[in-house]
Structure 1
Amino acid sequence: MDKTKIVGIIDGLEAAGLVSRRPDPDDDRRARIIEPTADRRPPTADRRKRLRAARAAVRRLEDDFLSALSPARCTMLLSDLHDLGGEPAARLTAGS
């Protein structure tokens, strides 16, 4: 997927108040961290449309990534990721 398409989707999610961007403290360049917001307003048609576009983009990226693997390796990877759950992210934030 083209970088500009991803940026456009993130721009739309940010405009709808669904995500925010902040500078990455570990990168002195242009890297940004994208985080979901705590905005709990009822979903509008625009927000639902933007979420559908983001989900479709994620599915396309997953399909592109997983297409390089055999079905058996794909199943193994997905199983391993499921087993890991949120632990790797928690370790990273804890500084381990």
Structure 2
Amino acid sequence: MAIDAATVRKVARLARIATPEERLEPLAQELNGIMTWIEQLAEVDTDGCEPLTSVVAAGLPLREDVVTMGGDPARVTSNAPKSINNFFVVPKVVE
């Protein structure tokens, strides 16, 4: 996939990045180089490789899923900007 100056101009306009006309061609060359690297990565054989989320094999600590009564409602709503009768008060959004 070849990227030309017109494509760079269009992407810069869509991203609202001010790009001088004399920078369009060098940027197109840089982006073409990046696309070449991506194409090289696509050629790597990854069959049999498990997807990674981290290079360290670590599990997340799990807690028992227990239903509670919510503890102390007054304490829960104490940080709210506004609460009435232990309920959060929010601005009306539907008219």
TM-score range, shorter chain: under 0.3
Higher percent of residues as strand = 1
More relative contact order in 1 or in 2 (CA 8 Å, sep 6+)?
1
- TM-score, with length taken from structure 1: 0.27
The two structures have a TM-score, normalised by structure 2, of: 0.27
Instruction: Considering fraction of residues, name the structure with more helix.
Output: 1
